[in-house]
């Protein structure tokens, strides 16, 4: 059985990361917790805590640069991630496989699957490496 531990993050594709992040930060009052850049220095994403006064552990919005020619030209909410225990990663992947759900993508911290409508769902233990129990 997969046992989500709550909301991890929602990814939001944007043409103008700075402008969209400013809305969540300046209008909604969500604190900025991280900025990520491409190797060439361009802004790739801004993470904002989902809780005023919180940090990324409270769940966050990841405002991500939408790539030119991105599938379907998708902008806006693109993925929701639920928090899982890093020690449960292998069992989580096995449970998904038993249900016939292919893992679409893997990172060092997140497994990605699609729901029946094709929406991307992440199961993430970032920033804790796999195998480490919280």
Q: Name all domains of the chain by residue range, CATH numbers in brackets.
A: 7-124 (3.10.180.10)
List, run by run, the mean pLDDT of 10-residue segments along the chain (134 residues).
Answer: 85 90 86 95 93 80 78 70 90 91 92 81 88 54
Contact predicate 65/11, CB 8 Å? no
* pLDDT computed for residue 83 by the predictor: 86
Are 112 and 122 a contacting pair, CB within 8 Å? yes
- 129 exposure class (CB count in 10 Å sphere: 0-12, 13-18, 19+): exposed
Helix (H) or strand (E) holding 18: helix 17-22
pTM for the model stands at 0.70
Q: How many other CB atoms sit within 10 Å of the CB of residue 75?
A: 13
Strands 110-114, 60-65: pairing kind: unpaired
């Amino acid at each position: 059985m997969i046992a989500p531990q709550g909301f991890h993050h929602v990814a939001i594709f944007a043409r103008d990361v700075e402008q969209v992040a400013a809305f969540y930060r300046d209008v909604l009052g969500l604190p900025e917790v991280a900025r990520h850049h491409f190797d060439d220095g361009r802004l790739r994403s801004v993470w904002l805590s989902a809780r005023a006064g919180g940090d990324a552990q409270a769940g966050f919005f990841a405002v991500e640069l939408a790539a030119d020619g991105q599938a379907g030209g998708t902008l806006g909410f693109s993925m929701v991630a639920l928090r899982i225990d890093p020690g449960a990663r292998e069992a989580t992947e096995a449970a998904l496989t038993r249900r016939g759900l292919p893992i679409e993508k893997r990172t060092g911290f997140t497994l990605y699957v699609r729901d029946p409508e094709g929406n991307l769902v992440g199961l993430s233990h970032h920033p804790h490496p796999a195998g480490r129990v919280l």
